[in-house]
């Protein structure tokens, strides 16, 4: 199971939000590039970067900074936040980003548009499914969509999406533990690889998630628990990456 450090960028700083709320932020570093290098040196095999300002504004804001991060580290990066058109996807891929995360686009465009994106970019596309109050949230988590989560994920899988990040926004930044039951339900109903996010607070949480690997869980995105040192990345990598 991959342990994936999260680098959320707001105002060019590395921050963590509570429940996706812009006003509830805590700054952990003023140098996201140095933080990315730190996680790489501790053994990370993949970085998760979110342009929070891009998510809120509906278009990328920190592309130049993310490009700099991609040149700073030698490990793969997945990026989300305001990615809603082909030009943005191509630009990130040109920077050397391996995966782009799309959320609002997948919930607001026709099946034809989604299939076209999947056909052109295939494994470079990750679906970002952010759930708030048991409903999917889009537009920087400000708008909730009344559509069954499990059914929509199955629909995306049928259209060719091979990898999905499931984030429980109510738990994100709360260190309250991941939504194991929901993650398990999603895994049991589709064949996409799932990456869990939101609420991961301890090694015990990671051990619980590890039990879902046989169902298709690929990894866990960890943010505040790493920054608060509730989880030590080097230790977690040795335990969980080596067992893959």
At 174, phi and psi to the nearest 5? -100, -15
The answer to whether 114 and 140 have CB atoms below 8 angstroms apart is no
Give the per-residue pLDDT at 151. Answer: 87
* Residue of 11, 53, 87, 130 with catalytic role: 130
- Is 204 annotated in the active site? no
Percent of the chain with pLDDT over 90: 76
pLDDT computed for residue 190 by the predictor: 84
| List of domains in the chain | 2-241 (3.20.20.70)
% of the chain beyond a pLDDT of 70 = 98
Pick the catalytic residue from 8, 51, 172, 205.
8
CB 220 within 8 A of CB 196: yes
- Per-residue model confidence (pLDDT) at position 24: 80
For this structure, is 8 an active site residue? yes
Task: Return the number of other C-beta atoms located less than 10 Å from residue 30's C-beta.
Answer: 12
Query: What is this structure's pTM?
Result: 0.94
pLDDT at 244 over 70: no
Residues 118 and 52: their CA atoms lie apart, in Å, by: 24
In this prediction, residues 169-187 reach a mean pLDDT of 86
Mean pLDDT for the chain overall: 92
Q: Is 134 left (phi over 0), alpha (psi -120 to 50) or beta?
A: left
| Residue 243 pLDDT exceeds 90 | no
Cβ neighbors of 239 (< 8 A, separation 6 or more) are 203, 206
Closest CA to 206 of 236, 234, 185: 236
- Cβ atoms of 168 and 179 closer than 8 Å: yes
């Amino acid at each position: 199971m991959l342990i994936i450090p999260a680098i959320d960028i707001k105002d060019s700083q590395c921050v963590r939000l509570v429940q996706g709320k812009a006003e509830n932020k805590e700054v952990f570093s003023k140098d996201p590039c140095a933080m990315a290098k730190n996680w790489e040196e501790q053994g990370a095999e993949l970085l998760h970067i979110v342009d929070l300002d891009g998510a809120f504004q509906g278009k990328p804001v920190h592309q130049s900074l993310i490009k700099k991060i991609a040149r700073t580290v030698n490990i793969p990066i997945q990026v989300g936040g305001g990615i809603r058109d082909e030009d943005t996807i191509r630009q990130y891929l040109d920077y050397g980003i391996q995966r782009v995360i799309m959320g609002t686009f997948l919930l607001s465009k026709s099946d034809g548009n989604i299939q076209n994106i999947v056909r052109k970019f295939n494994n470079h596309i990750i679906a970002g499914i952010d759930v708030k109050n048991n409903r999917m949230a889009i537009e920087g988590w400000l708008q909730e969509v009344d559509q069954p989560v499990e059914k929509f994920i199955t629909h995306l899988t049928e259209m060719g999406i091979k990898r999905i990040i499931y984030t429980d926004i109510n738990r994100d930044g709360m260190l309250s533990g991941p939504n194991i039951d929901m993650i398990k339900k999603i895994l049991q109903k589709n064949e996409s690889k799932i990456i869990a996010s939101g609420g991961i607070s301890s090694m015990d949480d990671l051990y619980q998630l590890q039990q879902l690997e046989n169902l298709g869980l690929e990894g866990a995105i960890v943010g505040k628990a790493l920054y608060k040192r509730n989880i030590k990345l080097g230790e977690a990598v040795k335990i969980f990456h080596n067992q893959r």
